[in-house]
Amino acid sequence: MIEVGPNSYGKSAIRLVKVDRDQAPHRVRDLTIAIALAGDFATSYSEGDNSAVIATDTMKNTAYALAGEHLTGSIEGYGLVLGRHFLAAGREVDLVKVSIDAHAWRPIDSAPDAFTRDASETRKADVSVSRDGFLVEAGIADLVVMKTTRSAFAGFPRDRFTTLPETDDRIMATKVTASWGYARDAELDFDAVFDRVRSTFLGAFADHDSASVQHSIWVIARAILEAHPEVDDVTMSLPNLHHWTVDLSPYGIANDREIYVATKEPHGLIEATIRRADIGSVERPGTS
């Protein structure tokens, strides 16, 4: 017997820009949105029956249509509005997943209407709405951070293919992808909580002594969980952007951890989820 397995469909890469000119400087909201629906859509695959299929073009139009009234606060709140709308739109829909990336524009000096795009960091939100409630996950991507000291890597296994020397003081640099999940059905001031968690992240990164990137993930995530009871789990993906000390000895020049060559590839990639032991495994939202 052949049957349709798990499936979903939706609209990705919806580009939406909203400009609020009622404040100075103006506020620019620049979003990339993905919407996905899951539910009883098996016959649309097996029989070509589109009677329950909400057009993906309708999803795009809905995102624009609801932005004027509802994109006034956090991207998480706007994602919940979209999720609840599509959950109510069809009885076949069991789950709506909304993913939003917010791209930052910064005012130029004191000009009320001139901006520069800040690509150094992207704020992210993933919202999952079902008939049993909702889950919200916030996060950041593309945030590049560096520690120029207090970072080590030693005590690792060695064999005949190991050439990496042990070190108790190296540069550690990474391009952060991090997300944190809130408790189910948590109604929060998502903007305020995001700012607080981000501040804790950066403070913990700056203040700790790192034995490895793995150790850094543990220290930073633990600091977030201890400081923010509304957060249930923290997930990080940290590429180790290596900085190798340049050998200047052929030129008769000493180099005591001053001159480095920065590399992007190949790089180490360290990933982990740190969570409260009493909540168990929570299936977090996402549209991928």
Q: Has residue 283 got a pLDDT over 80? A: no
The Cα-based distances of 264 to 14, 16, 272, 288 in angstroms read: 30, 31, 21, 25
> What's the pLDDT at 279?
76
Q: Residues 85, 97, 103, 242: which is the catalytic one?
A: 242
Cβ atoms within 10 Å of 83's Cβ, excluding its own: 24
> Average pLDDT of 211-237?
98
Active site residue 242: yes
Closest CA to 76 of 156, 163, 162, 180: 180
Query: CATH assignment of 139-288?
Result: 3.10.270.10
Task: Kindly report, residue by residue over 46-104, the tens digit of the pLDDT.
Answer: 999 999 999 999 999 999 999 999 999 999 999 999 999 999 998 899 999 999 999 99
Q: Residues 11, 103, 124, 208: which is the catalytic one?
A: 11
Report the alpha-carbon angle 268-157-273, nearest 5: 45
Report the alpha-carbon angle 177-206-107, nearest 5: 65
Active site residue 122: no
Closest CA to 173 of 202, 188, 151: 151
Q: Residues 18, 32, 43, 56: which is the catalytic one?
A: 56
Q: 1-131 adopts what CATH topology? A: Urate Oxidase (3.10.270)
> Average pLDDT of 258-264?
96
pTM comes to 0.93
Q: Are 237 and 217 in contact (CB under 8 A)?
A: no
Q: Which residue has the higher pLDDT, 23 or 219?
A: 219
| Res. 282 pLDDT band, cuts 50 70 90 | low
Cβ atoms within 10 Å of 278's Cβ, excluding its own: 6
Query: What one-letter code names the amino acid at 250?
Result: P
Task: Kindly report, residue by residue over 93-137, the tens digit of the pLDDT.
Answer: 999 999 999 999 999 998 999 999 999 999 999 999 999 999 999
Active site residue 11: yes
| Exposure class string for 140-162: b at 16+ Cβ within 10 A, else e | beebebebeeebbbeeeeeeeee
Q: Is there a common fold for 1-131 and 139-288?
A: yes
Domain spans, the chain: 1-131, 139-288
Sequence-distant (6+) residues with CB within 8 A of 198 are 140
The encoded tokens of residue 32 equal 């990339």
Helix, coil or strand: residue 236 = strand
